[in-house]
A and B are shown apart, each in its own frame.
Chain A
């Protein structure tokens, strides 16, 4: 029978088909963080239930911790310290591996999970965090869950899941200069809406995907949750295998050999059937930027905001203080943020540094760069990237989720306009009343220099 990549993963993990049509799916890895995971661990503790397999459960600190140099358990987040200390206590109680605040391998959960080889192709991975879909880039079936389901997974090693519908998106063409995988995923969401992939397992494929680096694939898959997908998937290939080779928790020796054999079978069969198929011509894409309060409310940097027909668009425009058919170019900004599970990787920092080199951030802009993980931070520093950021006037922070969402209790102020490499431009996401424009690291770097929104391509060497 011809099967999709998703179906191969699903069938492999199906413990039992339940009478109501849902299935009991075996879970290979559970990743937690101190915001939602902590409550799940405490819930399990309170119920007196056993955590079935602590060896396959991991936890990091990323959401509550602050990202200032010299940080401790103290944080500006109201009540935040309790989350940090209780997570530490619970991790110890259940004997699970914790990537603690200042460990050399701490970082944002989805980044650590990949960097450490905890997530592998062919595994099921869950985390009480909606951006768990990031890890689908490795060919793992990885999805975000709530706290209750997380308790369920820890207590039973399974989840009850209704089989999602499946979509395939083929990315054709070639990428223009100044265009990154962030622009591709924003273009997909803009084209088909914030609920365009509602509840579906979405496989990304095509010539553009094959050429993307592992890091760029993570960025692409990361925002599948903004497309309302159940999760994203990319068939593993040599890019994937090379990335994972030698990672701490990746299989070794004969297990590695066997794994590679198994992973090479993880692709959609030629005649496999999807519930929906889309095709994107990437040659048409130029740098994107959001104008509203949903990632779908985005435009090419050269385009104008569309005519505001419905109430939702009108209210978004009002919140963002933008108007009908306005161009975003030259709009003054007060904040610029580079980081997050979307764009906090080494290649993101490199792309931004390439533009920042020899320039200064506009004096009116608070500019912050937060590497997504300690490993990224170390590599960036070894390459001297931090010097470029600092010389330009960026704050160079400790790893974590940071200003993506008021993490560490820190936000931008009411009415401030921010350009950000993050994934959500929701109302109040980066601080009450703060106006967020999401874009690629290159776009954020260029805007930080000019103090206003610009087309980053003017900074590219020709």
Chain B
């Protein structure tokens, strides 16, 4: 997994609530048995113009197709970002496109876990803090960028106050070190086997 220690990047605002994983990547864009090749399908419903079902070209009205947001690596959104389908393709598409962090008021639970497994940092800020960043983006003529420091668990810029965010220590360490979480759990193998040995006696009916 790609490490996340510190990142500075342009912020794109997509401020609606409940941006679901069908919007992030529609089912029709998941064409291969692979975690790769999904960046092109990111937000495809809005990112492209269509003739019938065929893509005609980029949709200039969509913010990701407009400068400076076409270079954005941080996405700013509202409540419940990534709700809906569990498809990890949504995270793979965001990562492949180039996003390193998503700032939102809250996240869909499965989506948030998927982010943490793929080095995409989910940052939870309050509605007021998100609004102040959005206002600053609006007030900035050129590109507005944020610095995200995972060690300090802090978001900052030259124009906004620094905001701390909460992320549990384990997830922080995973991301800082780019650890493989399966490998970490396999260290508990003995303990897991002991649990099963004991549990089999208690709940024989549960085992096939």
Contact = CB atoms under 8 A, between A and B. Distances in A.
A144 interface: yes
A230 interface: yes
B8 interface: no
Interface string B148-173: 00000000000000000000111100
Nearest to B90: A146
A453 B87 CA distance: 32
Contacts of A262: 203, 205
Interface string A396-430: 00000000011101010010000000001011110
B20 A426 contact: yes
Contact of A407 (B17, B27, B191): B27
B126 interface: no
A428 B110 CA distance: 21
Give the size range of B's interface with the partner: 35 or more
Contacts, number: 186
Interface stretch (A22-30, A206-214, A372-380): A22-30
B106 interface: yes
Interface in A26-44: 26, 28, 35-36, 38-39, 42-43
Given A22-B170, A130-B84, A39 B109 contact: no
Nearest to A118: B208
Given A145-B110, A164-B109, A426-B23, 18 more contacts: A15-B188, A24-B185, A24-B188, A35-B30, A38-B33, A39-B88, A56-B208, A146-B86, A146-B117, A148-B118, A148-B181, A149-B113, A155-B185, A156-B185, A156-B189, A162-B168, A198-B106, A255-B204
27 contacts: A20-B170, A24-B192, A56-B208, A77-B27, A79-B33, A122-B206, A130-B85, A144-B86, A144-B110, A146-B91, A148-B117, A149-B114, A149-B117, A155-B185, A156-B188, A160-B185, A195-B80, A198-B80, A255-B205, A312-B18, A315-B16, A414-B50, A427-B22, A427-B45, A428-B26, A429-B22, A432-B50
Interface of A: 12, 15-16, 18-22, 24, 26, 28, 35-36, 38-39, 42-43, 47, 49, 55-56, 77-79, 82-83, 86, 120, 122-123, 128-130, 144-149, 151-152, 155-158, 160, 162, 164, 194-195, 198-199, 225, 228, 230, 249, 251, 255-256, 258-259, 262, 294, 296, 311-312, 315, 405-407, 409, 411, 414, 424, 426-429, 432
